[in-house]
Structure 1
Amino acid sequence: MDRRRRKVLKAGGGMGIWAALVATGIVAPAMAEGSRNVAAFEARTLDEALQALGAAAAQDSGAIRIVAPDVAEDGRAVALTVSSDIPRTEQIAILIEENPFKVAANFRLSGAMTPTIHTRVKMARTTRVHALVKAEGRIYAARREVTVTVGGCGT
Structure 2
Amino acid sequence: MQTRRQMLQRSATVAGLLASAGLMSLPGLALAADYNKAAFDAKTMADLMKALGAGAPVESKDVTITGPDIAENGAVVPLGASTSLAGVKSMLILVEKNPSILTAKFDVSDSVEAAVQTRAKMGQSSNVYAVALMADGKVLFAQKEVKVTLGGCGG
Letter in 2 for 1:84: T
Identity across matched positions, percent: 34
Q: How many angstroms apart in 2 are the aligned matches of 1:127 and 1:33? A: 28
Corresponding residue for residue 117 of structure 1:
116
Q: Secondary structure at the match of 2:50?
A: helix
Q: Secondary structure at the match of 2:144?
A: strand
What pairs up with 1:5-154 in 2 under 5 angstroms? Answer: 12=24, 15=27, 34-55=33-54, 57-136=56-135, 137-154=137-154
Contact 2:93 2:105 in 1 (8 A): yes
How does the TM-score come out when normalised to structure 1? 0.75
Count of aligned positions = 135
- Mark the CA change 1:59 to 1:46 in structure 2 (over 3 Å): closer, same or farther: closer
Task: Report the alpha carbon displacement of residue 104 of structure 1 after superposing the two structures with TM.
Answer: 0.4
Q: Deviations over 1:31-73 (max 9, x none)?
A: 8871222101012344322322344511111011111000000
- What letter matches 1:150 in structure 2? L
Q: Secondary structure at the match of 2:56?
A: coil
Distance change in 2, residues 1:32/1:88 (3 Å): farther
Q: State the Cα distance separating 1:120 from its structure 2 match.
A: 0.3
- Which has more radius of gyration? 2
- After TM superposition, the score normalised by the length of structure 2 is 0.75
Segments of 5+ residues of structure 1 without an aligned counterpart are 19-30
Give the 3-state SS of the residue equivalent to 1:105 in structure 2: strand
